Amino acid sequence: MRIGCPTEIKNHEYRVGLTPESARELVAHGHEVWIESGAGNGIGADDAEYRQAGAVIKDGPDAIFAECEMVVKVKEPQAEERARLRQGQILYTYLHLAPDPPQTADLVASGVTAIAYETVTGPNGSLPLLKPMSQVAGRMSIQAGATALEKAHGGRGVLLGGVPGVLPAKVLVIGGGVVGFNAAQMAVGLGADTTILDRDPAVLERVGIHFESRAKTRFSNKANLEEAVCEADLVIGAVLIPGAAAPKLVTREMLKCMQPGAVLVDVAIDQGGCFETSHPTTHADPTYVIDDVVHYCVANMPGAVARTSTYALNNVTLPHALSIAELGWKEAMRRDAHLAAGLNVHAGQVTYKAVADELGYEYRPIDEVLA
C-alpha cells in the first residue's frame, strides 16, 4: 500500500502522523511511504531521517492526497485538506466529528473512508488510541492552569502549591478517567488542594485508593459540582462520552460565584467542551475571560509538546496502520472489532452512531459495511 503523511497545518500543531521509526516499519513490511517535506520538523526529525528510513519525500501535500491510498495524520483535516480527499481513500487520524458539522459534511461528500483514532476501542471499553493524548493533555492542563493563574496572565495570582504559612490553591478535576487521573497526579505532585469529581463509584474508589489522603474524591451531582466549582481556584474539565459531544456541566450561572481570576481549563474542547462558556482557542491565543473567569480551551494541547506526543501516539497507532496496510481496511476490521469501532464515515455514510445521532445523519451500522 502507498501511505502518505502530510505536514499538519492546524494552528501551532507540530506533531506528525508518522515518525521515521514508524515509516521504517511500514517500509520493512513492503509498503511505500510518502512524507511531505518538513512534516517531521516539529519533532526534530528532518527529511534525511525519513529518507534513511526508506520513505519518499514529497514537496507539498498535493501528491500525497492525490496518489496515496491511505493518509495518516494527527489532527482532523482542515478545510483545504478535506477538499483534497477522494472516494476510496483511507483517512486515519483524530476526527472528533460530533461537535464539527462542517467537517462531517465534507467527509461525507468526499466519499473517503475515515477511521478515527478516538473511537477505536480496546478491552473493557477502553480507548487505547486516545489514551496517550489524554495522558498528555491531563498533565498539561495543570501546567496551563498554573500559568493562567498567574496575575500577568489574568489569573488570581495564586501558586498551586502555596508556600509554608500560605494555603495552596484549590484544584477541582471534573472526571476521574484518563485525563482527570493524570491532571490529579500533577496537581497533587505540585502540592495543590485537589478534589476529583465523578459519578461512577468504581472510579471514585480507584482514584481514592491511589491518591489516599493526597486528594479528595466527591460524587458528582449538581449540588456538589456547583459547590466545588465556586470554591475552586482552578477547574479542569475532563469529561468524555466516546465519540459524542461533551455534556455542558459547568453553566455560565456557576461562574458568578467563582473568585475573579479563577481559571477553567476545558480538556474536553475537542468534543465541544464541558463548560457552557467554552469555545476553541489556539496556542497562539489560548485564553479569554468571561465574567472575570479565565478560560483556557486550546483544542490541540498535546501539540505543544510535539515530540513526546508524537512518539506516544505512534506507539499505539502503528499496529493498526500496519494491519490496514497488510489486509486492507475492510478485512482488517473484519478480523478486529476494536479497529472496526474506529470507522466513522465510509462512502458518503456515517457509520458511528453517536455522530449520526448528534448531527442528524442516517446511521449505517459497521456490520452492514463489512458484510
The answer to whether residue 159 is domain-embedded is yes
Give the end of a domain, one of 250, 269, 296. 296
361 and 324 within one domain:
yes
**Closest Cα partner for 283 from 299, 272, 271?**
299
Element (H, E) at 197: strand 193-198
| Cβ proximity of 281 and 299 under 8 Å | yes
Burial of 179 (0-12, 13-18, 19+ CB in 10 A): buried
13 and 83 within one domain:
yes
DSSP characters for 163-194? Answer: BTTBPPPEEEEE--SHHHHHHHHHHHHTT-EE
As given in the structure block, the three cell numbers for residue 91 are 483517512
The answer to whether residue 301 is domain-embedded is no
Phi, psi of 86 (to 5 degrees): -145, 165
285 and 244 within one domain:
yes
Binding residues: 15, 75, 134, 198, 220, 239-240, 267-270, 298-301
352 and 205 within one domain:
no
Q: Rounded distance, CA 324 to CA 190, Å?
A: 43
Compute CA distances 125 → 135, 242, 318, 328, whole Å: 17, 10, 20, 24
Query: Quick check: helix, strand or coil at residue 8?
Result: coil
Average pLDDT over residues 241-265: 94
Phi, psi of 10 (to 5 degrees): -65, 150
For position 275, what pLDDT does the model report? 98
**Whether residue 270 lies in the annotated active site:** yes
* pTM confidence score: 0.91
DSSP lists the bridge partners of residue 215 as 194
Give yes or no for residue 27 having a pLDDT over 90: yes
> For the chain, what percent of residues have pLDDT higher than 70?
100
276 and 316 within one domain:
no
| Cβ proximity of 90 and 329 under 8 Å | yes
Query: How many distinct structural domains can be found in the chain?
Result: 2
260 and 148 within one domain:
yes
Active-site pick, 31, 96, 320, 346: 96
Active-site pick, 106, 193, 266, 270: 270
Residues spanned by the domain of 66: 2-126+306-370
144 and 90 within one domain:
no
Side-chain-side CA neighbours of residue 252 (13 Å): 7
Q: Rounded distance, CA 157 to CA 236, Å?
A: 18
Q: Rounded distance, CA 370 to CA 327, Å?
A: 13
For position 243, what pLDDT does the model report? 79
116 and 144 within one domain:
no
35 and 75 within one domain:
yes
**Whether residue 336 lies in the annotated active site:** no
Give the end of a domain, one of 253, 274, 296. 296
The answer to whether residue 221 is domain-embedded is yes
Binding residues for NAD(+): 134, 198, 220, 239-240, 267-270, 298-301
**CATH number of domain containing 187:** 3.40.50.720
User: If you count DSSP H runs as helices and E runs as strands, how many of each does the chain have, helices first?
Assistant: 15, 15
Binding residues for substrate: 15, 75
Q: Rounded distance, CA 295 to CA 258, Å?
A: 13
287 and 325 within one domain:
no
Q: Could you read off the pLDDT of 204-244 as tens digits, one per residue?
A: 999 999 999 999 999 999 999 999 999 999 999 999 888 78
312 and 292 within one domain:
no
User: How does DSSP classify residue 153?
Assistant: G
Give yes or no for residue 37 having a pLDDT over 90: yes
346 and 279 within one domain:
no
Q: Could you read off the pLDDT of 279-298 as tens digits, one per residue?
A: 999 999 999 999 999 999 99
Q: Could you read off the pLDDT of 350-371 as tens digits, one per residue?
A: 999 999 999 999 999 999 999 9
Give the end of a domain, one of 253, 273, 296. 296
Query: Quick check: helix, strand or coil at residue 139?
Result: helix
